[in-house]
A and B are shown apart, each in its own frame.
Chain A
Amino acid sequence: MLAFELPISVINFAYLVAAILFIYGLKGLTHPRTAVRGNLLGAVAMFIAVIVTLWDHHVIQYVGWGWIFGGIVVGSAIGAYLAVKVEMTGMPELVAVYNGFGGIASVLVAGAWLLSGTGGPSHELTDAASALGAHDLMGNAGMSAALMQGTIAAAASGLIGGVTLLGSLVAYGKLAGIKWIPDGAFLPQQKAINALLMIVAISLCYFTVTDIMGPTNAAIAANGGTVEAVTTSTGWYYTGIVVIAFILGVTLVTPIGGADMPVVIALLNSYSGLAAAATGFVINNNVLIIAGSLVGASGLILTSIMCKAMNRSLWNVMFATMGPTSSTASADEVYEGKIKSTSGEEVAMLLETARRVVIIPGYGMAVSQAQHAVRDLANLLESKFGANVDYAIHPVAGRMPGHMNVLLAEANIPYDKLREMDDINSEMDQVDVAIVIGANDVVNPVARTDPKSPIAGMPIIDADKARTVVVIKRSLSPGYAGIPNPLFAADNALMYFADGKKAFQEMIEAVKEA
């Protein structure tokens, strides 16, 4: 315990500094050049906020330093281990797990606050009141209102945090390729069940609030402000909320799979922020609210970008199933007799004369870990033939926002060569060879031509407009949308049936010999 107490104004000022640094930190992420500094600013902000909170006298009087520091040391060790050990291809899984940890932390903090009896709601309440310097001004009604706010926020933290935790674990399982987690509707009447669960959860929130507010108001009326709020049933109501939230997390995320994962990850990212903000309303803390809502906004923007990139609404991603419709042409109709298969040598000959080459990566590149081979071929083409090689990145390529960019950056490909969809599409007709690796739906021209297709209107990378398209794929199996891709049968398309990495290695060998 430190010898002196920091005045509440100093603590709040430090929180303000931390909030400003968080905002500057995020601002740094608007450009790769300033991003490292931005991230460090965020870390500094967090450090300030934590140190000041630890310093705050009230914080350590009961538990003492031991437990808190023990927790911080253990958490830091695990966090550092995960951060150092993770492969870049495992990044979607790691982000999913982190989202979940944010959720569970909020669940636990809100739970601790609700269950803490005289040490909790009333203690925080007194703190909050004195923090505002408004203890006397608030009066009994004010105290009661503040407690109500804390209780509602705690229930919300439990609900959002619980959905985030289990939703993230399911997302993790899907990303890690755990086979027994089903895709698509796995319960009859899925929507009705979700709605029912939501109603039960909200009722439980209501009971939690009345459970605390009833005795509290009575106590305030009786002895003028000494609040002995919590009854044993509060804990059970809260447990109920969290359990329902866990179930909701499973039922909401389980049906969503494959190419829709970027939306789910972004949405859960947003939830983890909103859960933190709700926790801020529980303990009346500005910096939690500000940081939490920044993250909430960030996740929501990413969610909306991902949805736009698929021309689907969030509702559609969450609750509708993608698949071929009756009007979809069958694979035989599309592919019959029109597929031209190719080899490394043939592609190498094409590449020899190509001035402009564009590589279009998809999830398949991540699966076959081909990013280094991709870079080697690109470097070879540039040094040997003086070709210009760019990369066309669809916003939903891969399993999370920016997935392809991270993998290609890992392979030391400069970020100015990673071109956004709209940007590169205007130049696709000047491209000599487009190499598609492990992407399918995001280059399917049906999105432009067939208004009845399940991917109709989805913005795609116009690979078909290049002079020659080489598609590296293990088979003609459909992508996530479940429909055949006429690009594979197009006159200017060559199918290279192979594993992504192997195909690039073969091309490299062939180009070297050319």
Chain B
Amino acid sequence: MEMLIILLTIFVLAIFVGFEIITKIPPTLHTPLMSGSNAISGITLIGAVVSSGSNITWLPKTLAVLAVVFATINVVGGFMVTHRMLGMFKRKG
């Protein structure tokens, strides 16, 4: 139970931090925000790596390695496309 409460605390506090920061993001950057946060949600890659590293039998191993592929697409693709997009936002002159 202690573990669960600790994790829940982190979860709730992180949501509050998220709300505080993200309400300040201007509409002009909403699309980069989505693609960038998509890349961040690729953090599942950590779970995929942990999971593929700790499995012996073929089925869970296969699932975990597939998860590595999908999460990496998210991470690499997300950060790169966000970078590309943000490069287009320029000031006058």
Compute the total of residue contacts between A and B using a CB distance below 8 Å: 418
**Pairwise interchain contact A39-B73, C-beta atoms closer than 8 A:** no
- The residue that A111 contacts in the complex, of B45, B60, B74, B82, with Cβ under 8 A, is B60
- The residue that B72 contacts in the complex, of A79, A265, A285, with Cβ under 8 A, is A79
What 1/0 mask marks residues of chain B from 4 to 21 whose CB sits below 8 Å from any chain A CB?
101100110011111101
Most-contacted residue by chain A among B57, B81, B83 (CB, 10 A) = B81
- Given A32-B86, A297-B19, A94 contacting B35 (CB threshold 8 A): yes
Least distance between A136 CB and chain B CB atoms (Å): 13
**Please, which residues of chain B bring their CB within 8 A of the CB of A62?**
53-56, 61
A200 at interface by CB-CB < 8 Å? no
Which residues of chain A from 37 to 88 have any CB-CB distance to chain B below 8 Å in the complex?
A: 38-40, 42-43, 46, 49-50, 53-54, 56, 58-63, 67-68, 70-72, 74-76, 78-80, 82-84, 86, 88
- Given A30-B26, A105-B74, A269 contacting B85 (CB threshold 8 A): no
Q: How large is the interface on A (under 10, 10 to 19, 20 to 34, 35 or more residues)?
A: 35 or more
Least distance between A393 CB and chain B CB atoms (Å): 7
Provide the bound-state CA to CA distance between A420 and B30, in Å.
12
State how many residues of chain B have any CB contact under 8 Å with chain A: 85
Which residues of chain B from 58 to 84 have any CB-CB distance to chain A below 8 Å in the complex?
A: 59-61, 63-84
**Pairwise interchain contact B41-A417, C-beta atoms closer than 8 A:** no
**Pairwise interchain contact B19-A22, C-beta atoms closer than 8 A:** no
**Please, which residues of chain A bring their CB within 8 A of the CB of B30?**
302, 305, 400-402, 405
**Pairwise interchain contact A292-B46, C-beta atoms closer than 8 A:** no
- The residue that A32 contacts in the complex, of B3, B4, B47, B89, with Cβ under 8 A, is B89
Most-contacted residue by chain A among B1, B53, B86 (CB, 10 A) = B53
**Pairwise interchain contact B52-A102, C-beta atoms closer than 8 A:** no
**Please, which residues of chain A bring their CB within 8 A of the CB of B83?**
36, 39-40
A104 at interface by CB-CB < 8 Å? yes
**Pairwise interchain contact A102-B36, C-beta atoms closer than 8 A:** no
A residues with CB within 8 A of B? 19, 22-23, 25-27, 29-33, 35-36, 38-40, 42-43, 46, 49-50, 53-54, 56, 58-63, 67-68, 70-72, 74-76, 78-80, 82-84, 86, 88, 91, 94-95, 98-99, 101-102, 104-106, 108-109, 111-113, 115-117, 119-120, 123-124, 128, 132, 134, 138, 142, 145-146, 149, 235, 265-266, 269, 272-273, 275-277, 279-299, 301-302, 305, 393, 395, 400-403, 405-406, 409-410, 412, 414-418, 420
Given contacts A35-B29, A102-B42, A402-B34, 4 further A-B contacts (CB under 8 A): A102-B41, A269-B38, A302-B22, A302-B34
22 A-B contact pairs sorted by A residue (CB < 8 Å): A36-B87, A42-B39, A63-B55, A67-B52, A67-B61, A91-B31, A94-B35, A95-B34, A105-B42, A105-B47, A108-B67, A109-B44, A109-B47, A119-B57, A146-B4, A281-B7, A296-B15, A400-B34, A412-B90, A414-B91, A416-B92, A418-B28
B residues with CB within 8 A of A? 1-4, 6-7, 10-11, 14-19, 21-57, 59-61, 63-93
